[in-house]
Amino acid sequence: MIQLQNFAIRRGGRLLFENATMQLHHGWKIGLTGVNGAGKSTLFAALLGSIHGDVGSLTRPSGWIVAHMAQEVESQETSAIDFVLSGDEEWWDIHQKLEHQADQLDIDTLTQLYGRFDEIHGYTAPAKAAQMMAGLGFLENQIRLPVSSFSGGWRMRLNLARTLMSRSDLLLLDEPTNHLDLDAVLWLEDWLKAYEGTLVLISHDRDFLDAIVDHIIHVENAQLTLYTGNYSTFEQTRAERLSQQQQAFEKQEATRAHLQKYIDRFKAQATKARQAQSRIKQLERMQKLAPAHVDTPFTFSFREPSRMSSPLLRLDHVDAGYAGKLILSNINLQITPDSRIGLLGMNGAGKSTLIKTLAGTLAALNGERDASELLNLGYFAQHQMDALDGDASPMLQLARLAGRQISEATLRAFLGSFGFSGERMDTPCESFSGGERARLALALIVWQKPNVLILDEPTNHLDLDMRHALTMALQDFEGAVVLVSHERQLIASVCDELMLVHDGKCDAFDGDLVDYANWLRQARIDMEKQQKALHQKANEQKNTSPKAAQPAVAATPVQEFIKPAPIATSTITGLSKEESRKETARRREATRPLRDKIEKHEKQQQKIQLRLVAIENLLADESLYLPEQKVALLNLMNEQTELRSTLQHSENETLELMLELEELQHSFDQA
């Protein structure tokens, strides 16, 4: 349990929060919310133990393992999967010792290391890491690449995978979805739901928070307030509290005004001086209530496009890709003024390729991209943020677009609607945060009155208030929208047409985002089955036939757990004897591939079990533990662990095949 007792932190002379007293219990999943600069990251640092409060205490169990996602990843030549595996510090330490120092360690130390490695499921860790990386969008051929070969966004995914790899008791995640696409967000959502430790999460994705958290800590007015429930429940509870607070504030202000009026009227009169002094003291004792500020600072809207035509943009039998490498084929897409299209698809399916082809930054390999003469395209992508002039202020960059005929007051009012005020308007943007740069890039696009908006992850780095303002502005936008976003709330609020990019095609998706989430999970299952089939085929080609017949061994636990039902040989109800014989033969032929795979796995398991028995007999020989037999001992122990891992993997696949066979036979009976 984490406990805060009268906890307060002050930074740079500013009080972030005070008198924080609460208990956070093990297993809670907590969303940490508040405006930028309220102190969320400071509270993270305090939970991490890297800073201490000025008053009070924050305590957590000393034995807890804390995992925290760093915001930067240095370039290094370590392979991606090794970088992820190093997130489990104990596993990595034991692995390094066994890999590089085994011949320098005594037998007792080695035995302890191997024993602990087995306890923490060390032999399955690489498979776990690879599966985690696949969920976050890495391809199988990428996991061995060096970290230095990945871009900044993909390094952040690696850092997230490394953080999740830790067997932590407390997990601190700050905007983990910023560099993810929708399918990776859905995978992460499922992973965090199953996480058994205590989670503290900062996120501006309300759907993500709603699906995961069961408590909210809100930082506001130098106070930490704990709410029970998800983000939607928090919003409703807080709205009710703010309404009550506003009523109390208005009542108090009326009372204060009445007292002040009495003081001003009678304090100079000797006969009323005592009463006036009493009112002054009453006014001083009255606790000042804060008014309920719920209005967002962002109030922008898209400017009405100057000219329109229909269609504005059309792709006709377009093949899209890079340097002759085909990614998508035969794309037929028409953008009209009322088009509101959300693009869905797994990572690497080709969404970015389609976006760039639509925007005209990537030439089509074949087919025709037909743009109207009236097309005024507003394209937001991450490189737009990078293309901002770091030496120029928001005012200067907007003035370059607007020209001299627009007054400075108009420009300042426009930038103010995007949250730029005071000196920030005239500050070079090289020092801006990611959120400020994203807001400025959006502002420059909005100023140009586009009639088609192509938005590729526009909410990255934006806080909840700005995301809400963007959603409202897009709903009122009078032009066309093509949107790629990991934020489901934005897609659902803005788009009325969904298109799926998958398997080299771009087609209409018949369903909503819930249907897409279900489709995505099933697609992952299908892909895993295909990968297992490929691995199995490769392993079968590598296996050599045994030199001599091997004696039978006892059934494995998997084989005892479930047995495939035999193909019926008696007459099938409702069929003649000849028809029944033919039907039985058909069923046997239909199930043959599954039964052959199961038989091969069973033979492999028998061979492994025989070898494991032989190794155990050899390890029982006391002479093997003499110093001069150290290399032989290590070889046997390594072989034993590898065989156990292979056996476990084979048994798991056998179980899946038996279940699949049972379902197939059940379908025969139901037909």
Domains 1-64+169-229 and 313-510 share a fold: yes
Decide if 143 contacts 80 (C-beta within 8 A).
yes
- The single-letter DSSP state of residue 278 is H
Q: How far is CA 445 from CA 381, 483, 670, in A?
A: 11, 15, 60
Taking only Cα atoms into account, the Rg of the chain, rounded to an integer number of angstroms, comes to 32
Report whether the peptide linkage leading into residue 564 is cis, meaning its omega lies within 30 degrees of zero.
Answer: no
Q: List the structure tokens of 277.
A: 């002094």
Q: Where are the alpha helices (DSSP H) in 267-388?
A: 273-285, 351-359, 382-386
* CA–CA gap between residue 472 and residue 465 (Å, rounded): 11
- What pLDDT, on a 0 to 100 scale, did the predictor assign at position 564? 41
**What length does the chain have?**
671
**Domain locations in the chain as residue ranges:** 1-64+169-229, 237-285, 313-510, 553-670
Which residues are 499's β-sheet partners?
343, 508
Tell me the pairing of strands 497-502 and 505-508.
Answer: antiparallel
Which residues are 226's β-sheet partners?
217
Q: 183: closest CA among 543, 558, 486, 463?
A: 486
Residue type, 110: L
Residue type, 438: A
pLDDT digits (tens, 9 = 90+) for 446-480: 898 899 999 988 887 777 778 878 888 888 888 89
Q: Where are the alpha helices (DSSP H) in 49-181?
A: 80-85, 89-100, 107-119, 125-135, 152-165
Q: What residues in the chain have per-residue pLDDT under 70? A: 71-72, 245, 248, 252, 258-259, 262, 265-279, 281-299, 382, 528, 531-532, 534-581, 584, 620, 622, 625-627, 666, 668-671
Decide if 24 contacts 30 (C-beta within 8 A).
yes
* CA–CA gap between residue 262 and residue 280 (Å, rounded): 9
First to last CA, the chain: 55
CB proximity list for 133: less than 8 A, separation 6 or greater: 80, 81, 84, 142, 143, 158, 161
Decide if 230 contacts 201 (C-beta within 8 A).
no
CA 170 to chain centre: 17
Decide if 669 contacts 573 (C-beta within 8 A).
no
How many Cα atoms are found within 13 Å in the side-chain-facing hemisphere of 50? Answer: 9
- What pLDDT, on a 0 to 100 scale, did the predictor assign at position 576? 62
Tell me the pairing of strands 170-174 and 313-322.
Answer: unpaired
Decide if 606 contacts 550 (C-beta within 8 A).
yes
- What pLDDT, on a 0 to 100 scale, did the predictor assign at position 97? 86
Q: In CATH terms, is domain 1-64+169-229 a member of 3.40.640.10?
A: no
The residue to which tokens 């002479």 are assigned: 623
Residue type, 471: T
* CA–CA gap between residue 14 and residue 33 (Å, rounded): 19
- What pLDDT, on a 0 to 100 scale, did the predictor assign at position 565? 41
- What pLDDT, on a 0 to 100 scale, did the predictor assign at position 540? 64
* CA–CA gap between residue 142 and residue 593 (Å, rounded): 32
Which helix H or strand E contains 438, and what residues bound it? helix 434-447
Tell me the pairing of strands 366-371 and 313-322.
Answer: antiparallel
Q: 456: closest CA among 369, 342, 375, 376?
A: 342
Q: In CATH terms, is domain 313-510 a member of 1.10.3720.10?
A: no
User: How does 171-197 read in b/e, with b if 16+ C-beta sit within 10 Å?
Assistant: bbbbbbbbbbbbbbbbbbbeebeeeeb
Decide if 23 contacts 3 (C-beta within 8 A).
yes
Which helix H or strand E contains 332, and what residues bound it? strand 325-335
